Amino acid sequence: MARGLAGVEAGLSLWVPLPRGARAAPHAATYEGALAVPRGLLPAGSPVLAPGGRAQAGDFVAPAGVADLLRGVDRRQRRSAGAVPGEIGVRRLRAPDGTVRYVVELPGTESWALRPGARVRDLATNVHAVTGRDTAYAHGVVAALEAAGVPADAPVLLVGHSQGGLVAATIAADEAVRRRFRIAAVVTAGAPLGRLPAPRGVPVLALESRADLVPALDGRHNSAGRDLTTVRFDGPRGSVGGNHALDVYVRAAEHLPHRNPSVAGWERAAAGFFTPGSSAQQERYAVQRAPG
């Protein structure tokens, strides 16, 4: 798949055709009801953590802003540069004063398979994640935090594109996860967040292109709140996949409306992750679905 298009399936694939012979539930008039049948046919499964792919240029450079965070997500899906299926990243940042923070990089969907297989970034994860339900992907991210030795008191920023943004927001809203890890901020790009529970106390920056169909596929606007900042911008209008491409969001992140009070508030809350002079170490993991 061309660079930048990995993850387009995250929203488009929510319109999952039922397997031959399956029937929709008679009371599936609601969005939740419409997803009940595919959720039953596509179990979320359990995760298995494996080693990630090769290190890439940029992995050991601390981010200077939101655009750099999204470039990190892109490296985790760039097969031509050594990324492997299911790859995610956990980047350890050490500021000059010794403070350690972590950035977790979560790409979007990579499989359109109608039957759940080893790849967790698939349709099964989409139909569960879009309403905030547990997924093997999310559980695999938590396992990666544990494998990376992230301390309970270290600030963690989750950044994801498309399905990866859904998973990031779901993890941030999970009280059990937040009792184990200090989720300090979230960035999503092109993710439909309108039906997810708000992660109270965690500042979320959600980027949405008006030309991108994927953020609207949940049929609901993002809820307005103190902790959620949604930046909508006029992205390029071309193909459906091109409108959703991660590089569209990288370019938008380079021109955030910094004077907007809500954006400025998010930037203040997340400022530590962009501390000048910080060093970076990168861990890479592959989240897969266990057999059976």
> For 213, which DSSP code?
S
* Strand pairing class (47-51; 155-161): unpaired
pTM (2 d.p.): 0.86
* Percent of the chain predicted with pLDDT > 70: 85
Where b means 16+ CB within 10 Å and e means fewer, 107-132 reads: bbbbbeebebebbbbbbbbbbbbbbb
pLDDT at res. 40: 52
Cα–Cα distance measured from residue 288 to residue 136, given in angstroms and rounded to the nearest whole number? 8
pLDDT at res. 43: 58
> Which range has highest mean pLDDT (33-37, 109-113, 233-237, 261-265)?
261-265
Cα–Cα distance measured from residue 74 to residue 173, given in angstroms and rounded to the nearest whole number? 24
For 25, the enclosing helix (H) or strand (E) is none
Q: Say yes or no to pLDDT of 13 above 70.
A: no
Cα–Cα distance measured from residue 51 to residue 182, given in angstroms and rounded to the nearest whole number? 24
Measure CA 260 to chain center: 24
Rounded mean pLDDT, 25-34: 45
